[in-house]
Chain A
Amino acid sequence: MLSSVYIILIVAMLAADATFTTPHHLLGALNSPEIRFSVRLSLISCTLTTLLSLWVSVPTAYLMSRFRFPGRRAMDAILDIPIVLPPLVVGISLLILFQTPPGQFIERFIPVTYAVPSIVIAQFAVACAFAVRTMLVTFDQIPQRRELVALTLGCNRAQAFWRIAFPEARRGILTAATLAWARSLGEFGPILVFSGATRMRTEVLPTTVFLELSVGNLEAAVAVSMLMIVAALAVLGIARVFGLRAPLERVL
């Protein structure tokens, strides 16, 4: 009974959005140059963040899964922080970080705060933690013995990773990628604080929803929300099609 109420709530939320918006609104939204800019920036920044997250999370998780080293427990605990930290706090922390001397030093070469790089950094700060968790579950499920056999067959550690562990982890990598991408797409709090909400500059889809709402343009806000719902469902669909339910459920 309780669970069915919740299921109805979820479906009703989506149905309300879908019935509120009309093809006319959707087309209108897609024709607006601001919204097209924000769609493009969202797609680019999410993809960059996803690649960056995989690049960091795959070796990090492999290291933590296969080796016992001093500081491993601390590392494990620290990796949970972005998951539990309130999003606004992530944004403020990043903002402050780039006001410190090392942050200012970077800003001298690449403008970060209130510019596009800040969007990727804000997304990455949270999404990567989810990617690491997914990859950790993935590598923990792959028995290490196969890599050890590969070592006796003449592989070095790197070859054992690339030829044995990596191909076996490909489903997990795909899950980590979809999860990181979906997380980044919805990231709003840190971006609002760290990147600002300047139209045609640092505007991503959640920013658009916020800006449209704040000027009372509910139709456009819902239309953009619909775009994000479709993108999120597509990602969920990909994950299910590739049979990735188990690792996804374990992480979330």
Chain B
Amino acid sequence: MIQIEQLHARAGQFAIRDVNLAVPQGCYAVLMGRTGSGKTTLLESICGLRQIVSGRIRIGDRDVSDLKPGERGIGLVPQDVALFPTMTVRQHLAFALEIRRRPPDAIADRVEELASLLGIAHLLDRYTAGLSGGESQRVALGRALSFRPGVLLLDEPLSALDEATRDEMHALLRDVQRTTGVTTLHITHNRSEGRALAQKLFVAEANTVREAPLEELAKRC
């Protein structure tokens, strides 16, 4: 569950205010908005990468407003995927677990499990340099899910992909969400993406975020 109350956050001259938002446990929510509407500011605030001015952020039953990013239990897939060029795919999937000092066999099991869920078992020993857009997305998704976070945040993850790969990723995201039951907030400006995935819809505009009926996705295009 993600619950945001009266959030006020600033990014330079830009600010978002009075943001109230609730994504129930296990729900796939989509946040839509134009470039510069504050989507990324909101996302960084939720992750703890941006200090908020006021308001509260809850993940599950914990108030995480003052916690460090790593203590919030949030898996992030950033806009440009930001894979680590010095690591193999396997090291990406193991990274968060190694930081948490999990036993090696538990890590190996989890890596296998993720690799088969995401269809990247054949890539495990590759470095990220030669991966295709879709493959990179899968690795970024696996890295974000590896430590079983309560919440998954996706920042325009599919914007750089071609149409066919995008449809494939929609199916994968739905599948992952069904399998893991992770509460998801997916940021996009692509309406067809919203239609394909949203169980709940939010719209960022006029420096705040409002909930919108799913019909709005159909109506607008």
Q: Is B127 an interface residue (CB 8 A)?
A: no
* C-alpha gap A125/B100 in the complex (Å): 41
A-B contact pairs, 27 of them (CB 8 A): A143-B80, A143-B82, A145-B78, A146-B84, A148-B69, A148-B78, A148-B82, A149-B76, A149-B78, A151-B49, A151-B69, A151-B70, A152-B49, A152-B70, A152-B72, A152-B74, A152-B75, A153-B70, A153-B96, A153-B147, A154-B70, A154-B99, A154-B100, A154-B147, A155-B99, A164-B84, A164-B86
Per the 8 Å Cβ criterion, residues 163-198 of A in contact with B are 163-164, 167-168
Q: Encode contact with A along B129-162: 1 for CB under 8 Å, 0 otherwise.
A: 0000000000000011011000000000000000
Q: Is A156 an interface residue (CB 8 A)?
A: yes
Chain A: CB-nearest residue to B140: A149
Q: Is A22 an interface residue (CB 8 A)?
A: no
* C-alpha gap A35/B95 in the complex (Å): 52
What is the number of contacts between chain A and chain B, taking CB atoms within 8 Å? 58
From B69, B84, B85, B86, A152 is in contact (CB under 8 Å) with: B69
From A146, A155, A163, B70 is in contact (CB under 8 Å) with: A155
Chain B: CB-nearest residue to A148: B49
Per the 8 Å Cβ criterion, residues 115-155 of A in contact with B are 143, 145-146, 148-155
From A153, A167, A168, B95 is in contact (CB under 8 Å) with: A153
* C-alpha gap A149/B147 in the complex (Å): 13
Chain B: CB-nearest residue to A167: B86
* Distance (whole angstroms) from the CB of A153 to the closest CB of chain B: 4
* C-alpha gap A159/B70 in the complex (Å): 11
Contacts of B72 in A (CB 8 A): 152
Contacts of A155 in B (CB 8 A): 70, 99
* C-alpha gap A153/B153 in the complex (Å): 12
Interface size on A, residues (CB 8 A): 17
Contacts of B147 in A (CB 8 A): 153-154
* Distance (whole angstroms) from the CB of A147 to the closest CB of chain B: 9
* Distance (whole angstroms) from the CB of B192 to the closest CB of chain A: 26
* C-alpha gap A184/B144 in the complex (Å): 46
Contacts of B76 in A (CB 8 A): 149, 152
Chain A: CB-nearest residue to B44: A148
* Distance (whole angstroms) from the CB of A125 to the closest CB of chain B: 33
* C-alpha gap A154/B95 in the complex (Å): 9
Contacts of B70 in A (CB 8 A): 151-156
Besides the contacts A149-B78, A153-B95, what 18 more A-B pairs have beta carbons closer than 8 Å?
Answer: A146-B82, A148-B47, A148-B69, A148-B82, A150-B95, A151-B49, A152-B47, A152-B69, A153-B70, A153-B99, A153-B144, A154-B147, A155-B70, A156-B70, A159-B99, A163-B95, A164-B86, A168-B85
Q: Is B210 an interface residue (CB 8 A)?
A: no
Q: Which 10 A-B pairs have the closest CB atoms?
A: A154-B70, A153-B96, A167-B86, A151-B69, A154-B99, A145-B82, A152-B76, A146-B82, A152-B69, A149-B82
* C-alpha gap A62/B120 in the complex (Å): 34
Contacts of A168 in B (CB 8 A): 84-86
* Distance (whole angstroms) from the CB of B8 to the closest CB of chain A: 21
* Distance (whole angstroms) from the CB of B73 to the closest CB of chain A: 9
Per the 8 Å Cβ criterion, residues 162-192 of B in contact with A are none
* Distance (whole angstroms) from the CB of A163 to the closest CB of chain B: 8
Contacts of B48 in A (CB 8 A): 151-152
Chain A: CB-nearest residue to B100: A154
Chain B: CB-nearest residue to A149: B82
Contacts of B34 in A (CB 8 A): none
Contacts of A148 in B (CB 8 A): 47, 49, 69, 78, 82
